[in-house]
Amino acid sequence: MLGIKTLEVDVKGTLVKGSLQLNAKGAYQLDLLAPYAGPMFTFSFPKIYHALWEGHISEIDNYATSHLRTLFHKCENIKKDVPKFEREIKAFWLELDRISVLSPLEWNEKCMFLKKALQEGYMDSDTYEKTLNDLTLVMEKKYLEREKRCEAFLSQYLPEYSHLQNHFSWIRFCYELTEKKHLLLL
């Protein structure tokens, strides 16, 4: 991801925060940070701003802020529906946990490890490229499998939200709501 910018907006007295990043493919990723963490939205914009920094005012801010409000409202609405399928989300989360997908940090560590092995002569460039390509294909396959399962779950339990992108982030959000509720009861 290139450039991270924090956005804030007041929605009916609630401070909503998010981070805006530009990925290598030229798409923007908006992550909701507060009052809920996790849900994200990916979108494109006709103009690409390569430098997103604090204080930089641009058209993208208004566009992203609008999406941030939308993410917040979707979270508020989903929050009301989660108790209806709390047991199912917990069981599904355990099932999802068996699909080992690397986090962005873990992925970066693997890539850096391979790059270091190449630089230190432990592998040649052909082996490096093949290993990186194979790892990428395996991770993409697992990621897509996880996304398809999450989309199917949302279609079954929250059909009005099955159109959302980044299905896993929404499943994680729902699961974390059940965990927070559980902790509040203790």
Identify whether the C-beta of residue 39 lies closer than 8 Å to the C-beta of residue 166. Answer: yes
Q: Which of 34, 49, 79 is the endpoint of a domain?
A: 79
Task: Write down the pLDDT at residue 27.
Answer: 77
pLDDT for 130-160, tens place per residue? 999 999 999 999 989 999 999 999 999 988 8
Domain that holds residue 130: 83-185
Whether residue 149 is found in the same domain as residue 175? yes
Give every residue of the chain whose pLDDT is below 50, as ranges. Answer: 1, 54-56, 182-186
16: Cβ contacts below 8 Å, ≥ 6 apart: 8, 9, 10, 32, 34, 35, 68, 69, 71, 72
Task: Write down the pLDDT at residue 148.
Answer: 93
148: Cβ contacts below 8 Å, ≥ 6 apart: none
pLDDT for 16-35, tens place per residue? 999 888 776 677 888 889 99
Q: What are phi and psi of 33, to 5 degrees?
A: -110, -40
Q: Which of 183, 175, 180, 184 is nearest to 85 (CA)?
A: 175
Whether residue 99 is found in the same domain as residue 175? yes
Whether residue 147 is found in the same domain as residue 99? yes
Report yes or no on whether pTM surpasses 0.85: no
C-alpha–C-alpha distance, residues 118 and 126, integer Å: 10
Q: Which of 31, 63, 79 is the endpoint of a domain?
A: 79
Q: Number of folded domains in the chain?
A: 2
Whether residue 66 is found in the same domain as residue 107? no
Task: Write down the pLDDT at residue 46.
Answer: 58
C-alpha–C-alpha distance, residues 134 and 27, integer Å: 24
Task: Write down the pLDDT at residue 182.
Answer: 47
Whether residue 56 is found in the same domain as residue 88? no
Q: Taking the CA atoms of the chain, what radius of gyration do you get in angstroms? A: 19
Whether residue 73 is found in the same domain as residue 102? no
Whether residue 17 is found in the same domain as residue 67? yes
Percent of the chain with pLDDT over 90: 39
Whether residue 62 is found in the same domain as residue 106? no
Task: Write down the pLDDT at residue 55.
Answer: 47
